[in-house]
């Protein structure tokens, strides 16, 4: 082996000197294999397999990356949306909540203190063990990738072991601590009607060692959270930076349960777009006014302007919707004034509810949110009311909008996002939506570096829980513990 290296070096140097006399006369070659040659054959095979995977990945990623989801928006069932990921070598399954209001992917680790071991979601919970994955490596404080975590203002460094760590505190009072690792994320892509399985890409994610609050409740427990936020540490940003996916994702959440979520752009001619507010940690948009039954409410537009403690955020990790007090009170009053006289007001435990024996679409007004560049989001009554049982045989509907008593922030959660296509275009700094029957087929465009688009007819591919057959038609379920994760 040594003689081979010497010959190659000599040929390279002689050629270089002929081309350019100023070229350095000595080139230092660094060994990737230890001088003792004590590297196991299995390790060499793994190195070659990872290298070949990098070479082949770009030729295979010509389609759409999809995540199979489960959940529903209904806060009285689950109120959260989750997906199954495969991490490590050999790969293991982890169920994580999807959340566009945060950035980091983290999962429970084998050394976790207080992490749930069972769940009422009829899934098996797992614990990630960095030591049992042959492709796993720890992220040190000196690693450039550790500085990306600082964007979330949650990264910390241990003076004892120089390990890049994190601490997250969520709006519902729950929290998690842990450290960052790098390992392979495994995923499928779809091109036309063909599914390409077992694609891999290295990503950085959190290894949770401590969990508290709502995260440890076993009735709705999952293995972790995957953040789809706009910062560089999110999975979407990490994959896009490697040229593997476009820097955008889309979802279409069906109100009755189920839906679609893909890394790419769902194509629909009626989508309207509004700009994202630049340089924000969340998906902030410019809300200008709110109309009820065609009448603009007397709310100052300055209340919706983005500052450090106010603005309007689109968040798939929030089940309901939130308005600041100065907007909530005129909003509810206008709805009550415009509702049919057959509707009875029924306050329940601080929540404004109503009793009606009629269809809510017949007795409640239409609501319109007006955004920058003329984009409008029209809400029917089922987009701002939630049915909560009955009283004396009469259906009780309660406001799905909540008064935000902590900050003057407007949050548009799943009750508003359901039954619509939503496109989060990070590259174009815009977000778009359109009313849509999410039980129907969708076409998806995934424009990567080639400038070409692949279109996926998601409705032609049936959902299958097999790891070898993960498709675009995705199922969803929800949970009210995440009513305002990360904001309140």
Task: Go through the chain and tell me how many residues it has.
Answer: 488
Identify the active-site residue in 103, 315, 383, 425. 315
Q: Which of 99, 103, 183, 425 is catalytic?
A: 99
Rounded distance between C-alpha atoms, residue 318 and residue 418, angstroms = 12
Closest to 401 (Cα-Cα) out of 325, 485, 349:
325
- Cβ–Cβ < 8 Å for 172, 213: yes
User: Has 315 been annotated as catalytic?
Assistant: yes
Q: Hey, how many other C-beta atoms are within 10 angstroms of the C-beta on 315?
A: 27
From residue 6, how far is each of 11, 14, 114, 216 by CA, in Å? 9, 12, 57, 59
d(CA 380, CA 363): 11
Q: What DSSP assignment string belongs to 60-76?
A: H--SEEE--EEE-S-TT
- List phi, psi (to 5°) of 427: -65, -40
> Tokens 């990872």 — which residue?
50
**Cα 487 from chain centre:** 16
Q: What is the DSSP letter of 277?
A: P
Whole-number Å distance between alpha carbons of 281 and 131: 33
Q: Is 219 a catalytic residue?
A: no
Residue that is written with structure tokens 């003076």 in the block: 159
CA distance 473 to 197: 16
**Residue 105: C-alpha distances to residues 80, 83, 185, 199, 483 (Å):** 16, 12, 11, 18, 19
- DSSP for 6-72 reads HHHHHHHHHHHHHH-TTS-S--PPPPSS-TT----HHHHHHHHHHHHHHHHHHHH--SEEE--EEE-
Residue closest to 440 by CA, chosen among 256, 317, 316, 245: 256
375-410 burial: b if 16+ Cβ within 10 Å, else e: bebebebbbbbbebeeeeeebbbbbbbbbbeebbbb
Tokens 């194509």 -> residue: 267
Question: Which ranges in 130-170 belong to alpha helices (H)?
Answer: 144-149
Distances, alpha carbon 352 to alpha carbons 297, 331, 399, in Å: 19, 12, 6
Question: What positions carry a catalytic annotation?
Answer: 99, 315
């Amino acid at each position: 082996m040594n003689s081979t290296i010497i010959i190659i070096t000599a040929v390279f140097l002689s050629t270089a000197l002929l081309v350019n006399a100023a070229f350095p006369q000595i080139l230092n070659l660094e060994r990737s294999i230890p001088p003792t040659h004590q590297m196991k054959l299995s390790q060499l095979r793994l190195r070659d397999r990872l290298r070949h995977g990098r070479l082949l990945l770009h030729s295979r990623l010509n389609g759409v990356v999809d995540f199979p989801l489960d959940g529903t928006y209904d806060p009285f069932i689950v109120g959260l949306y989750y997906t199954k990921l495969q991490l490590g070598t050999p790969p293991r399954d982890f169920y994580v909540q999807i959340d566009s209001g945060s950035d980091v992917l983290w999962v429970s680790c084998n050394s976790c203190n207080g992490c749930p071991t069972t769940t009422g979601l009829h899934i098996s919970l797992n614990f990630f063990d960095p030591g049992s994955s042959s492709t796993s490596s720890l992220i040190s404080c000196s690693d450039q990738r550790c500085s990306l975590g600082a964007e979330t203002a949650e990264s910390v460094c241990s003076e004892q072991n120089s390990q890049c760590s994190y601490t997250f505190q969520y709006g519902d009072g729950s929290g998690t601590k842990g450290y960052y690792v790098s390992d392979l994320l495994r995923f499928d892509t779809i091109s036309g009607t063909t599914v390409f399985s077992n694609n891999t890409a290295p990503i950085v994610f959190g290894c949770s060692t401590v969990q508290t609050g709502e995260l440890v409740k076993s009735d709705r427990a999952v293995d972790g959270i995957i953040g789809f936020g706009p910062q560089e540490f999110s999975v979407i940003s990490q994959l896009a930076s490697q040229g593997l996916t476009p820097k955008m994702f889309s979802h279409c959440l069906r109100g009755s349960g189920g839906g679609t979520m893909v890394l790419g752009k769902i194509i629909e001619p009626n989508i309207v777009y509004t700009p994202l507010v630049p340089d924000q940690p969340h998906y902030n948009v410019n809300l200008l006014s709110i109309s009820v039954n065609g009448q603009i409410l007397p709310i100052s537009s300055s209340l919706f302007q983005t500052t450090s403690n106010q603005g309007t955020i689109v968040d798939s990790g929030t089940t309901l919707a939130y308005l600041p007090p100065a907007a909530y009170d005129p909003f509810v009053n206008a709805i009550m004034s415009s509702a049919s006289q057959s509707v009875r007001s029924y306050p329940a435990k601080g929540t404004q509810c109503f009793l009606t024996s009629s269809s809510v679409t017949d007795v409640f007004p239409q609501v319109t949110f007006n955004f920058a560049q003329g984009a409008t989001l029209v809400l029917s009554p089922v987009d701002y009311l939630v049915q909560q049982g009955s009283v004396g045989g009469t259906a009780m509907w309660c406001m799905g909008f909540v008064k935000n008593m902590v900050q003057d922030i407007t949050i548009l959660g799943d009750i508003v996002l359901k039954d619509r296509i939503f496109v989060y275009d990070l590259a174009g700094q815009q977000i778009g939506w359109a009313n849509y029957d999410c039980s129907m087929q969708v076409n998806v465009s995934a424009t990567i570096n080639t400038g070409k688009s692949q279109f996926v007819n998601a409705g032609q591919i049936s959902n299958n829980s097999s790891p070898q057959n993960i498709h675009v038609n995705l199922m969803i379920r929800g949970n009210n513990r995440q009513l305002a994760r990360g904001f309140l």
